């Protein structure tokens, strides 16, 4: 038996680990398989913003939210969050969680109704890691609740999120 430390692992090997964990979790919880969730905003074929994560059972984790710096302040971050929440609710999710850092779009998540449920101070040094949760309403008409309708000052900076 050999332990190999790798600082640039093959994505196939990482995928193998994630598949095994997902398979065992699905078997243990009987909630079905995880389903990827991604929404992209493209301009001239180039991604200028997006959000990604997954749903599993009645939960959703949003892992990445990013807006190209030159497109921030146009409500893309809040609109992406609202669209992801609407899709998660349509899939039967009752809550969503998001992991981010205190120097990222904290104001955006709090403005959008996310509750801070966890914090690890000094991770990494000079920053805090934050864990947010939002309880979702089930869709009544299929529309994204909470989507901004004005071009006033966008909360947060819409940049980066998480890992």
Q: Calculate mean pLDDT across residues 16-30.
A: 80
CB atoms within 10 A of CB 19: 10
Taking the model in full, what pTM does it have?
0.76
Distance CA 160, CA 147 (A): 20
* The pLDDT of residue 4 is above 60: yes
Mapped onto helix, strand or coil, the DSSP state of residue 51 is strand
Q: Using pLDDT thresholds of 50, 70 and 90, give the confidence band for residue 160.
A: low
pLDDT, tens digit (0-9, with 9 covering 90-100), for 98-107: 999 998 888 8
Give the pLDDT confidence score for residue 104 in this predicted structure: 87
Structure tokens at 45: 């074929």
Residue 143: how many other CB atoms lie within 10 Å: 10
Which of 128, 48, 41, 55 has its CA nearest to residue 97?
55
Question: Tens digits of per-residue pLDDT, 107-137?
Answer: 899 999 999 999 999 999 999 999 999 999 8
| Residue found by looking up tokens 């598949």 in the block | 19
Mean of the pLDDT values across residues 78-84?
Answer: 95
pLDDT, tens digit, 9 for 90 and up, residues 39-70: 999 999 999 999 999 998 899 999 999 999 99
Q: Is 2 helix (H, G, I), strand (E, B) or coil?
A: coil
**Strands of the 59-67 sheet, one edge to the other:** 35-43, 46-56, 59-67, 95-101, 128-135, 115-121
Rounded Cα distance between 101 and 161, Å, is 7
- Map out the domains of the chain as residue ranges: 36-163
Confidence category of residue 150, pLDDT binned at 50, 70, 90? very low
Determine the 3-state secondary structure of 48 from DSSP.
strand
The domain made up of 36-163 is a member of CATH 3.40.50.2000: no
Residue 107: both structure tokens together: 């104001």
Q: Is the pLDDT of residue 152 over 50?
A: no
Instruction: Tell me what the mean pLDDT of segment 18-28 comes to.
Output: 79
């Amino acid at each position: 038996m050999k332990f190999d430390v790798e600082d640039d692992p093959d994505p196939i090997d990482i995928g193998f680990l994630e598949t095994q964990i997902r398979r065992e979790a699905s078997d243990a919880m009987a909630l079905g398989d995880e389903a990827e969730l991604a929404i992209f905003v493209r301009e001239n074929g180039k991604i200028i913003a997006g959000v990604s994560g997954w749903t599993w059972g009645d939960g959703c984790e949003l892992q990445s939210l990013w807006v190209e710096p030159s497109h921030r302040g146009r409500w893309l971050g809040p609109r992406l969050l609202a669209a992801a929440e609407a899709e998660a609710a349509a899939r039967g999710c009752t809550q969503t969680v998001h992991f981010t850092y205190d120097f990222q779009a904290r104001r955006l998540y709090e403005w959008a109704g996310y509750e801070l449920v966890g914090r690890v101070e000094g991770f990494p040094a000079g920053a805090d890691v934050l864990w947010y949760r939002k309880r979702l309403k089930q869709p009544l008409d299929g529309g994204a609740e909470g989507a901004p309708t004005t071009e006033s000052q966008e909360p947060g900076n819409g940049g980066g999120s998480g890992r």
